Structure 1
Amino acid sequence: MKSLILFLERKSIFNERLAFVRSIFALGALLTLLFNNVPELADFELLANKQDMIFVRNIPLTNFSIFYFLGLEVGKYVSILILLSVFTGFIPQVTGLLQAWVHYSICNSFLVVEGGDQIASNLTILLVLICLFDNRLNQWRPERKSEGRKPVNVFFNVYYFLIILQVAIIYLHSGIGKLYNEEWRNGTCAYYWFTHNVFGAPVWIQKIYNIFTLSKFAPLFTWSVIILELLLFACILATNRKLKYIFLIIGLIFHLSIIFTHGLVSFFCSMAAALILYLDDKNIIYLKIKEIFIKNYYGKKV
């Protein structure tokens, strides 16, 4: 136990990864606000069942929304400014709280939301406490060392583990939940989703997928999704960083394929940020991007 405490005292989570992850979450919400008509997204009169409209409007804290306090148009532009401020990394103690408010407002003010919006809302709310205790003026900077931070490191390493446990459970819930559906169990669900008239893939991609979904390997293709999600959950127990990095890349490719298949760009942003929080212990993705940027634009190595 003593060696564990010493390890937690030395390990700090206050690095550039926080700014990187928060920026990816912000990008997803920013795309939603920039490329959609906010008054239409928030028009609950479109609900066919008026009882549903009454139910939604009476959910506790639904009115604790930036769009409720400032109105739809003003709220949209203020939200965009808040999300843009996240990319700067400055004053995370303030922008962390404001960013969580924006994501929460999207989930509670818009009629059309998907799992990525909910994940971004939940995780940015959990990150607020970390941002409040970050002793940096800019999160893109290395951590400022302080002798009095040992108790802080212990607490926030445990707190951070609880956050990534949330991400692991997302994959566990998704994998196990599919087993209750007959089409997932018999291996035909992938075909139905790929050819769905609303959420399905473009025709040219369907032709590629049909090579697998219309073959005898269709069940294997369908079950590979369930197996991947369960393996991503199991990564919570992994101690080998190389193994975690392999599953990080596989997970990112998996969610990237969802963009081309179903067009869910903001969902990819949320899941990419969640995976980096979950599996990228050494902040490898950010450092690789930083290295490529500096090498291409400044002609030198990091």
Structure 2
Amino acid sequence: MRSRTVPLPWAAGYGLARTLLALGTLGTLLFSDAATLFREVATVGRYPMCQGVNSAGAFCLVSEDHYDAMRWACCLVLVIAASGWRPRFTAVPHAYVAFSVFTGIAIPDGGDQITWILTLLIVFVALGDPRRWHWQPAPSPEDRPSQGRTRWALLGAGALVVARIQMSVVYFQSCVAKLPHAEWADGSALYYWINNYDFGAPYWLRPTLAFVVDQPVGVAAMTWGPLVLELALAAALLMPQKARWALLPAGVFFHLCIAVVMGLWSFALAMCAGLLLLLTPFGHDPDFARMLRRTTRPSAVPPGEDASAEAAVRIGSRL
């Protein structure tokens, strides 16, 4: 009998990703009224378009007069999900709200789409999560998991693998889709983006960025740098964990820069959540309580090992 261990996926690391996803959607609903979210789109029609599977969305269940009431109800669900309370009970409503926003509003972006995909995958992790709050440490290794929990742990780990592959594909596609365009190939694309009046830099930042993109070296670095980073993130699954840790702050900084320059904050939060799922180990537990207390305690894990090794299920297979 050979046995293998799989880290339990229920830890504060994946909980932080859940919170970021919920906050991104919450910002969209909280700071946009119904008249902004649901409107006529030229050549397409009026949103929400309640046809096919889209008709299952929350905003297709009420009349136009009640869009705002439904919007606030969705905000309540997102606040509870972001708080981390009872992941096994809040994961499905959270995913439903993400689906309703992506399919229902007239101005969805890539962040809304990736949020819906990731929240759906996280459902398979959260349904087996036994904790009261997703900020709590992973279950103790002394708490011998039942056969049912082992199955849930394997299902959750499998869902996180799919989420990792999804994020890798997103970054790969984002990189290669730019390459055929002459502006990205010759290194001048960011000059046009920075000076774009619709999606360009805000007025307070434009003089500084304009100075940078007016220099050949500056505009080339700002154009080709993101391509190199996206390609590295796409290949992260093939890298050792040490390299993934190095890529995490670079990826977060990259998306925060996009948010500041282009105002795409919900997109940035969704992608930062995706980075956590892509680059951190299974069962990663940052132990936020210890960070807040700023105290140290003896670790049961050898130096250099991730805390996720503390909680794992053992799987036996006959040879």
Give the TM-score band, short-chain normalised. 0.7 to 0.9
Alignment check: 8 A CA contact 1:39 1:72 kept: no
Residue deviations 1:184-230, cap 9 Å, x none? Answer: 11111101011101100023422222333222212233111111100
Q: How many angstroms apart in 1 are the aligned matches of 2:202 and 2:126?
A: 41
Cα distance in 2 between the residues matched to 1:142 and 1:55: 42
Query: CA–CA distance in 2 between the matches of 1:211 and 1:200?
Result: 14
1:34 aligns with 2:30: yes
Match of 1:263 in 2: 263
Count of residues in Structure 1 that have an aligned counterpart in Structure 2: 288
**C-alpha separation between the residues in 2 aligned to 1:56 and 1:88?**
28
CA distance in 2, matches of 1:216, 1:17: 41
Q: Which of 78, 84, 88 lines up with 2:73 in the alignment?
A: 78
Question: Would the aligned equivalents of 1:172 and 1:229 in 2 still touch at CA under 8 Å?
Answer: yes
Q: Tell me what 1:108 maps to.
A: 103
- Give the Cα separation in 1 of the matches to 2:172 and 2:53: 28
1:233 counterpart residue number: 234
More strand as a share of residues: 2
Distance 1:301 1:80, change over 3 A: farther
Paired with 1:260 and 1:286, the residues of 2 have a C-alpha distance of 27
The one-letter amino acid paired with 1:229 is: E
Q: Equivalent residue of 2:216, what SS?
A: coil
Shift of 1:57: 2.6
1:1-302 correspondence to structure 2 within 5 Å:
6-8=4-6, 11-43=7-39, 45=40, 47-49=41-43, 52-53=44-45, 57=49, 59-70=51-62, 71-144=66-139, 145=143, 146-148=145-147, 149-217=149-217, 218-239=219-240, 241-281=241-281, 286-287=286-287, 290-295=289-294, 300-301=295-296
Q: Is the 8 A contact 1:33 1:80 kept in 2?
A: yes
Cα pair 2:125 2:153 within 8 Å, conserved: no
After superposing the two structures, state which structure 1 stretch, 260-269 or 156-165, moved more: 156-165
The amino acid across from 1:73 in the alignment is D
Conserved 8 A contact 1:17-1:286: yes
Q: C-alpha displacement at 1:292, in angstroms?
A: 4.4
Partner-residue secondary structure (3-state), 2:130: coil
The unaligned stretches of length 5 or more in structure 1 are none
Deviation of 1:167 after TM superposition, in Å, equals 0.7
Q: Distance in 2 between matches of 1:301 and 1:257?
A: 34
Give, in angstroms, the shift of residue 172 of structure 1.
Answer: 0.4
Partner of 1:255, secondary structure, is helix
Contact 2:49–2:104, Cα closer than 8 Å, also in 1: no
Work out whether residues 20 and 286 of structure 1, in 8 Å CA contact, stay in contact via their aligned partners in 2.
Answer: no
TM-score (norm 1): 0.87
Q: C-alpha root-mean-square deviation of aligned residues, in Å? A: 2.4
- Secondary structure in 2 aligned to 1:135? coil
Question: Aligned-pair distance for 1:294?
Answer: 3.0
Cα distance change of structure 1 residues 56 and 39 upon mapping to structure 2, 3 Å threshold:
closer
Letter in 1 for 2:95: A
Structure 1 runs of 4+ aligned residues shifted over 4 Å read 282-286, 289-292
- The code of the aligned residue for 2:263 comes to G
TM-superposed deviation, 1:56: 7.6
Q: Name the CA shift for 1:152/1:94 in 2 (closer, same or farther; >3 Å).
A: closer
Q: Which runs of 5+ in 2 are unaligned?
A: 298-319
The 1-side partners of 2:222 and 2:173 are apart by 20
Counterpart Cα distance in 1 of 2:100 and 2:281: 30
The structure whose RCO (Cα within 8 Å, separation 6+) is larger is 2
- How far apart are the structure 1 equivalents of 2:296 and 2:60? 48
Deviations 1:101-132 (A, max 9, x none): 11111111100111111111111011112212
Q: Percent identity?
A: 26
Is the 1:82–1:98 Cα contact (8 Å) retained in structure 2?
yes
> How far 1:152 moved relative to its partner?
3.9
Between the aligned partners of 2:48 and 2:23, the Cα distance in structure 1 is 27
SS in 2 for 1:7: strand
Q: 1:41 to 1:286 in 2, by over 3 A?
A: farther
Give SS of 1:138's match.
coil
Letter in 2 for 1:261: V
For the residues of structure 2 that align with 1:160 and 1:20, how far apart are their CA atoms? Answer: 14
Which residue type is aligned with residue 57 of structure 2?
Answer: S
**TM-score using structure 2 length:** 0.82
- Counterpart secondary structure, 1:63: helix
